[in-house]
A and B are shown apart, each in its own frame.
Chain A
Amino acid sequence: MFLSLDIPLWPEAASTNAAEVDLLYIFLIVVSVIMTAVIFLGVFIFAMKFRKKDPKYVPPHIHGSNLLEIGWSVAPFLVMLVMFVWGTKLYFDEYTIPATNDAIDVYVVGKQWMWKVQYPEGQREINELHVPVGRKVRLTMASEDVIHSFFIPAFRMKRDVVPGHYNTTWFEATKPGRYHLFCAEYCGTEHSGMIGWVTVMEPAAYENWLSGGGAEGSMASQGEKMFQQLGCSTCHLLDEQGRCPILRGVYGSRVLLEGGKTVIADESYIRESILTPNAKIVAGFKADVMPTFQGQVSEETVLQLIAYIKSLAPKTTNLITGAAASVPGMTTIPGRPGANSQNVRRDTTKTDGKQ
């Protein structure tokens, strides 16, 4: 009867993660139902069985039972440990960005009140995301203004989009279809209008869609245009030392900074270098030479510039994906763009510096 009324009771599961989360959720429901039943029945039975019958009956003084207390503390706690371990494991999996070459990168910029999606090949969409089934998709996300949150219920996936740094997440869709996309962090007037659709396609259909291409060319070529337009090319010569560090091959490499520290040049580092260039100065160069582009470039443009700089790789590409692999989730230390680039987990400190 419920089905004929078309009442949804459970969201669709359309990603590898979704099925796992659902299993854990069902486990939690089962435990909760049991616990609730225990308490409800306990209260009900005691209330009925021990309701006042004889006015002269004086209840006995029962102080307590240490054994029971320990029992009903430890037992639930052990069950909770199962929830904790299971939930943590799934969370770690969800937040560890896969490093495969096979993954598709998509770039998302949230701004009041729309989602702007860019593909490396150049397509741009608003409030729409197209992905193929069966492949890992990496999302790198930025906000132009306030905190938003990218939420796809069918994938059981959600990640805040925070101004000031990139948050990254990933998923692998398992079922073709169209699924809701919601903003899940209150962001002002049209928060509930900041919604869209995720379209999961069969691989062939996806290739077809992709080949439609973006009218303006790939992200990297758009980035190259901006690179010229903004005047970056006057200082940053590509293959020889100018007044500024060489950019060819910089993405994914380890950079030596003034003061001796080193940093991995990932997306966050490059973004920081464009918007707050004085935050990290490359060894051998001076502060206050590169102007800041804060306020002059949108987050989308920054992503295009990064795509361009990524494309300036030398032929050995291992460095790039290798670097991406060892930055799980790109979870940043609060606030500082690229702070995690200071990757304290590294134990080798090569001082090769600039290319």
Chain B
Amino acid sequence: MSTTLQTPELVERPNYLNEDYGWKSWLFTTDHKRIAILYLISISVFFLIGGIFAGLMRTELLTPAGDLFNSDTYNKLFTMHGVVMIFFFLIPSIPATLGNFLVPMMIGAKDLAFPRINLLSWYIYIIGGLFALSAAAMGGVDTGWTFYTPLSSTYSNTFVLTAATGVFISGFSSILTGLNFIVTIHKMRAPGMTWGRLPLFIWAHYATSLIQLLGTPVVAITIALLCLERVFHVGIFDPSVGGDPILFQHLFWFYSHPAVYIMILPGMGVISELVTCFSRKSIFGYEFIAASSIGIAVIGFLVWGHHMFVTGQSMYASMVFSFLSFLVAVPSAIKVFNWTATMYKGSVTFETPMLYAFGFIGLFTIGGLTGLFLSTMAVDVHVTDTYFVVAHFHYVMVGGMVMAYMGGLHFWWPKMFGRMYPEGWARFSALVVFLGFNLTFFPQFILGYLGMPRRYHAYAPEFQIFNVMSTAGATILGVGYTIPLIYFIWSLKYGKVAGNNPWNATGLEWTTTSPPPKFNFDKTPIVTEDAYNYSHRGEVEVG
């Protein structure tokens, strides 16, 4: 299937990578593709840092006693792990890398609507990241990534302000990216690219951008109020001076719950692209998947109270949140069923991106189902704040999102760099990741129901066996992520040269060269067919 042409001249054709050299051409670029690469490098660095924190935590947790680090250090490790992974890896990941690269190309545009704001987004992200890293370097934060008051506003002696400022700043990066995508998708579609013909990757990013736009400012102001309280010791959230610590939780989760949909929706968009290409078939239920993305975005704003069932909030409020949390599961389920149905009567192949797609479907299903456990109030009372929750969100985020990210990275790597990755090693790594992941996180469901609380530095001895399993899995998972790091970098110079469309996929991005030219298309494309038009094209090679 791959149209690999061996001639090096093709790689040397003018494209966005070689059209200009020098650090200035990168750091002052306004080309969405180059900005995507800048993000790719940055978030990989943060993923590595967050991963190291996780590795240290899991090493400590091999034994019940807290013997590797002291309590304060451990508390800082899990806090920084959360802050880095959530705000500096998961939230930007797919939108800032694959989204930035592909959104204009998929709709036939030359760039995003606001290229300079796009670059600004990256700089804001880097500055926010530097604040967060300096908090870590200066001694760390130990409030948990959730910054609950009054612990964070009054009691913690760590660098809360610095870390919170980092998160505050990076929020604007998220807002601007979302804004850019929304305007681009509304105003810059190529002729013939109607809303009904948009790839589902675009729909997913549109929904994501809505959440980024509407949700992030609320966490910004929450963090600002927290910082004011910490500096001026006035009680907005401090009960001893008339404030309400639960108000903080409401404001915080009002953003942070939709935030998890910011993280997962782009991944779902990727899966739609992968499943169709590697089944050679149009997506089953296009309108339903598109609508479900918007549905998740909207309903996702209404469920935040399910993080607060045991805080003492009104039973009736809890009931409403529980009901809506069940409701938001329905659109996700719809997607899973539609992806599966897409393979029916297809022509399925098992290249690496498809393997990651399978992994996503399976693991996201488990993660999503365990979310139902948490929506069930009486069960949540028992398992909230335990490892059950930790397992749940790692299943959807790592088993789901990160797998989608890896699948997408493999799929579009030849387009972005004109080189193929080594398929054998890639499939092997996918398998290692899948096995390592399950060994790491499945035991944590058991630990949670047994009653092991989260954020525990030392734990009761009977929990050890599952913790050992989990750490073993984490080691394997680490290996599974390191191998692609190596071969991706290797492939930049030594990978097989890829043609315009090695996967024979539909989608406008595949009609142009790999790597694409600076302005994406030689001529503005005119769209005449629906997305995923595999059946009507037959086996005729496209592009």
Contact surface of A with B, Cβ cutoff 8 Å:
5-11, 20-21, 24-25, 28, 31-32, 35-36, 39-40, 42-43, 46-47, 50-65, 68-69, 72-73, 76-77, 80-81, 83-84, 86-92, 94-95, 112, 145-147, 149, 151, 153-154, 156-160, 162-165, 167, 180, 182-193, 195, 276, 294-295, 328-329, 331-336
CB-CB under 8 A for A157 and B382, given A39-B361, A83-B326: yes
Q: How far is the CA of A39 from the CA of B150 in the complex (A)?
A: 44
Do the beta carbons of A68 and B341 come within 8 Å of each other?
yes
Q: 12 A–B contact pairs at CB < 8 A?
A: A46-B343, A51-B348, A57-B347, A58-B347, A58-B535, A88-B377, A91-B318, A186-B144, A186-B148, A188-B75, A189-B72, A192-B455
Chain B residue at minimal CB-CB distance from A332: B312
Do the beta carbons of B450 and A10 come within 8 Å of each other?
yes
Q: How far is the CA of A321 from the CA of B345 in the complex (A)?
A: 68
Do the beta carbons of B311 and A160 come within 8 Å of each other?
yes
Main secondary structure of the interface of B (DSSP, over half): helix
Do the beta carbons of B151 and A80 come within 8 Å of each other?
no
- Tell me, rounded to whole Å, the shortest Cβ–Cβ distance linking B363 to chain A: 10
Q: Which residues of B contact A25 (CB under 8 A)?
A: 373, 379, 382, 449
Q: Which of B244, B286, B313 has the most CB of A within 10 A?
A: B244
CB-CB under 8 A for A163 and B286, given A39-B361, A51-B348: no
Q: How far is the CA of A8 from the CA of B250 in the complex (A)?
A: 36
Do the beta carbons of A61 and B310 come within 8 Å of each other?
no
Q: A7-B465, A184-B384 are in contact. List 15 more A-B contacts (CB 8 A).
A: A32-B366, A32-B372, A43-B358, A53-B347, A59-B280, A73-B334, A83-B375, A91-B378, A145-B155, A146-B148, A158-B310, A162-B239, A188-B142, A192-B453, A295-B240
Q: Which residues of A contact B246 (CB under 8 A)?
A: 162, 334-335
Cβ-based interface call for B28 (8 A): no
- Tell me, rounded to whole Å, the shortest Cβ–Cβ distance linking A10 to chain B: 7
The interface stretch among B226-234, B253-261, B456-464 is B456-464
Q: Which residues of B contact A77 (CB under 8 A)?
A: 326-327, 330
Q: Which of A9, A47, A149 has the most CB of B within 10 A?
A: A47
Q: Which residues of B contact A154 (CB under 8 A)?
A: 451
Do the beta carbons of B370 and A11 come within 8 Å of each other?
no
Do the beta carbons of A43 and B376 come within 8 Å of each other?
no
Do the beta carbons of A43 and B340 come within 8 Å of each other?
yes
Q: How far is the CA of A51 from the CA of B459 in the complex (A)?
A: 48
Contact surface of B with A, Cβ cutoff 8 Å:
66, 71-72, 75, 142-144, 148, 150-151, 154-156, 239-240, 242-247, 250, 279-282, 284-288, 309-315, 318-319, 322-323, 326-327, 329-330, 333-334, 336-338, 340-341, 343-350, 358, 361-362, 365-366, 369-370, 372-373, 375-382, 384-386, 446, 449-451, 453-460, 462-463, 465, 534-536, 538-539
Do the beta carbons of A50 and B242 come within 8 Å of each other?
no
Q: Which residues of A contact B286 (CB under 8 A)?
A: 63-64
Do the beta carbons of B539 and A55 come within 8 Å of each other?
yes
CB-CB under 8 A for A73 and B333, given A164-B240, A192-B66: yes
Do the beta carbons of B155 and A36 come within 8 Å of each other?
no
Q: Which residues of B contact A335 (CB under 8 A)?
A: 239, 242-247
Do the beta carbons of B365 and A39 come within 8 Å of each other?
yes
Chain A residue at minimal CB-CB distance from B336: A39
Q: Which residues of B contact A187 (CB under 8 A)?
A: 151
- Tell me, rounded to whole Å, the shortest Cβ–Cβ distance linking A271 to chain B: 12
Do the beta carbons of B245 and A11 come within 8 Å of each other?
no
CB-CB under 8 A for A69 and B285, given A8-B462, A335-B243: yes
Q: Which residues of B contact A84 (CB under 8 A)?
A: 322-323, 326, 375-376
Q: How far is the CA of A192 from the CA of B60 in the complex (A)?
A: 13
CB-CB under 8 A for A56 and B539, given A7-B465, A91-B315, A162-B311: yes
Q: How far is the CA of A201 from the CA of B455 in the complex (A)?
A: 31
CB-CB under 8 A for A328 and B315, given A147-B151, A163-B239, A189-B72: yes
Contact of B456 among A50, A91, A165, A192 (CB under 8 A): A192
- Tell me, rounded to whole Å, the shortest Cβ–Cβ distance linking A91 to chain B: 4
Q: Which residues of B contact A60 (CB under 8 A)?
A: 281, 345, 535
Chain A residue at minimal CB-CB distance from B445: A29
Do the beta carbons of B456 and A62 come within 8 Å of each other?
no
Q: How far is the CA of A35 from the CA of B142 in the complex (A)?
A: 39
Do the beta carbons of B312 and A190 come within 8 Å of each other?
no
